[in-house]
A = this chain, B = another copy of it.
Amino acid sequence: MSHNTFGHLFRVTTFGESHGPALGCVVDGCPPGIELTEADIQPFLDKRRPGQSKYTTQRQEKDQVKILSGTFEGKTTGTSIGLLIENTDQRSKDYGEIKDKYRPGHADYTYDAKYGFRDYRGGGRSSARETAMRVAAGAVARKVLPPEIVIKGGLIRMGDKAVPDDVRDWDAVDNNPFFAPDTATAEEFAGYLDGIRKKGSSVGAVIEVIASGVPAGWGAPVYGKLDAELALAMMSINAVKGVEIGAGMDAAKLTGEENADEMRFDADGKPEFTSNNNGGVLGGISTGQDVVVRFSVKPTSSILTPRATIDKNGKETEIVTKGRHDPCVGIRAVPIGEAMMACVLADQFLRHRGQCG
């Protein structure tokens, strides 16, 4: 993995800023002969696309993906797949404030510290638009995976409202603007976020992503652990501050008796576990249970309340970040988390096949 590349055998390299001409990515290592057209990718981009409800930014980006290479007659050739999305809504505006002032909670200050200057238009490379290419690559990854693997994601917490632990109605996810796996909680979210939005504030979220159908045996001990790579993948998403597998941080509160997932055989004589505290991963290798990952997304720092900051000329000042921002960026992180899950699994699948045949 390098600065802009993710993965090993299934590798994704992205480029592009929100205010340049285009975003793109290269998917390398995809097996040959897989049916792939733009129609396999576009629905996932549409799901991530902003401006679909009042709860996400009102910027309008069509996010129309083009496959530039790597397919022939509708099938992957085994060579590198180039994907491109042209930027269409680069609304010309006055960047005056952002140009010199460091927005608290944004990467403005750290970019300047690292590189000596920065592309301040729309956050440059730290813009959430980069994640469009993750979603596109994730759509390719899904096609690489065996069809029995199903990846589902949902927003399970927003501020202090949360989907109860024992409720996961995955069918509900596509029927509310929050991707919440529970209709009742979605209604709570609606009222809650309306309040946040009207105040010009923002709020954080927790996303859960589950992959079912993953066979036992994917992953590796030590540094190539399946869960370690999921942690890398999720923490690499903008604004993510925590990643959990299975029982997660609360594993610290459990005793050995509570935590140990006991084993039995199911009716078909297949091994099964009576619980899934381990989130489908033991010793870095999949158990055959659902792989369960959660991650937190911090509230966007673009809010209407003025915050104290400094500018690059050495003056203390304050800033209000106007513009078309998401009151809860966590919502749009749902398809991104699903995409990263798909990329990690596709990579581990190919590596497992390489080593173990």
Q: Are B16 and A13 in contact (CB under 8 A)?
A: no
> Within the complex, what minimum Cβ distance (angstroms) separates A108 from chain B?
8
Interface flag for A337 (CB, 8 Å): no
Chain A binding site: helix, strand, loop or mixed by DSSP? mixed
Given contacts A125-B222, A224-B2, are A32 and B117 in contact (CB under 8 A)?
yes
A355 in complex: contacting residue of B66, B250, B257, B350, CB < 8 Å = B350
**Residue of A68, A206, A310 with most partner-chain B CB within 10 A:** A68
Q: Are A255 and B202 in contact (CB under 8 A)?
A: yes
Distance in angstroms between the alpha carbons of A84 and B20 in the assembled complex: 13
Q: Which residues on B sit within 8 Å (CB–CB) of A216?
A: 109-110, 113-114
Encode contact with B along A231-256: 1 for CB under 8 Å, 0 otherwise: 11111101001111111111111111
Residues of B within 8 A of A70 (CB): 15
- State the CA gap A288–B241 with chains docked (Å): 17
The answer on a CB contact under 8 Å between A13 and B159 is no
Number of this chain's copies in the assembly equals 4
Given contacts A20-B68, A24-B68, A113-B287, 8 further A-B contacts (CB under 8 A): A4-B222, A22-B82, A77-B118, A104-B261, A201-B256, A228-B236, A238-B283, A241-B251
Contacts of A286 in B (CB 8 A): 110, 113
> What's the minimum C-beta distance from A92 to chain B, rounded to whole angstroms?
16
Interface check A170, CB cutoff 8 A:
no
Residue in contact with A298 in the complex, picked from B251, B299, B352, CB distance below 8 Å: B251
Residues 1-25 of A at the B interface (beta carbon under 8 Å) = 1-6, 8-9, 11, 13-17, 20-24
| Chain B contacts for A271, CB-based, 8 A | 109, 310
Residues of B within 8 A of A111 (CB): 221, 283, 285
Q: Does the CB pair B316–A264 fall under 8 Å? A: yes
Given known pairs A236-B222, A245-B235, the reply for A277 and B252 (CB within 8 Å) is no
